[in-house]
């Protein structure tokens, strides 16, 4: 993903018309569009190809299965036109290796979740976040997902992965995180959903976040 605005749109609307309208409105401000279960379950995987004409698509399926199933999911998602996939890491190194291998074959990206941004994200993830981050680096992932709601954790995770891996960071706006703070803490991109797609003017909301980050 090319870094221009440091902003990824989380497009968690559930219908095609809204999704394409919002994506069109904000495409000049975002470096990528993250699509997950809400939109794909609502409209089918075909929406990925339509959105990919506007911006690279990150498929957020938080893949978490045995290596063979992970491989099948990744192949399906990359064939559908996604530029990147998001996977969990707690399933272990062999599962992550399977995603990285497919991504290499397709020349696509893999991001691994380390610690989640919501309050419950500390319950099980906190003790293993650093280990997952190290595994993501060792496995040759493109980057990790780390919480904008806790910039100090982004700083901790940056120390583990060094400068080679990217950090994409959700939790800005609706979850209380600040875009500028988490970029200063070492994130490369913020992932923003509701503050943009629920706004009366998604383009203005996206522009404000870009201006705040001065990326």
Could you list the residues that contact ligand O7M (CB under 6 A)? 10, 12, 36, 60, 62, 86, 113, 116-117, 121, 145, 147, 170-171, 173-175, 191-195
Please give the residue whose beta carbon sits closest to ligand O7M in the complex.
Answer: 193
Number of H helices, E strands in the chain: 10, 8
Q: Three-state DSSP class for 146?
A: coil
Rounded to the nearest whole angstrom, what is the least distance from the CB of residue 167 to ligand O7M in the complex?
A: 12
Using CA atoms in the order 104, 182, 12, 197, what is the torsion angle rounded to 10 degrees? -130
- HSE-CB of 189 using CA atoms within 13 angstroms: 28
Which entry of 3, 62, 159, 214 is annotated as an active-site residue?
62
56 annotated ligand-binding residue: no
CB of 143 to ligand O7M, least distance (A): 11
What is the rounded CA–CA span in Å between residue 30 and residue 36? Answer: 17
Q: Is 179 annotated as a binding residue?
A: yes
Instruction: State yes or no: is 101 an active-site residue.
Output: no
Taken in order 141, 143, 147, 152, is the CA torsion positive or negative? positive
Q: Shortest Cβ distance from residue 4 to ligand O7M (Å)?
A: 20
Report whether 170 belongs to an annotated binding site. Answer: yes
By annotation, the residues acting in catalysis are 62
Annotated binding site for substrate: 12, 34, 60-69, 117, 170-180, 193-194
């Amino acid at each position: 993903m090319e870094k221009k605005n440091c902003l990824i749109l989380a497009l968690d609307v559930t219908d095609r018309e809204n999704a394409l309208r919002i994506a069109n409105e904000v495409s000049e401000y975002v470096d990528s569009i993250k699509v997950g279960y809400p939109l794909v379950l609502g409209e089918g995987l075909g929406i990925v190809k339509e959105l990919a004409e506007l911006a690279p698509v990150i498929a957020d399926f938080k893949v978490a299965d045995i290596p063979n199933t992970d491989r099948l999911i990744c192949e399906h998602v990359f064939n559908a036109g996604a530029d990147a996939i998001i996977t969990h890491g707690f399933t272990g190194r062999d599962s992550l290796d399977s995603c990285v291998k497919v991504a290499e074959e397709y020349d696509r990206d893999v991001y691994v979740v380390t610690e989640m941004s919501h309050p419950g994200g500390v319950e099980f993830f906190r003790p293993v976040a650093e280990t997952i981050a190290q595994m993501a680096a060792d496995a040759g992932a493109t980057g990790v997902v780390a919480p904008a709601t806790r910039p100090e954790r982004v700083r901790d995770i940056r120390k583990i992965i060094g400068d080679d891996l990217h950090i994409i960071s959700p939790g800005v706006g609706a979850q209380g995180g600040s875009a500028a703070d988490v970029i200063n803490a070492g994130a490369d991109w913020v992932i923003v959903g509701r503050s943009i797609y629920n706004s009366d003017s998604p383009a203005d909301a996206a522009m404000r976040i870009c201006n705040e980050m001065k990326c």
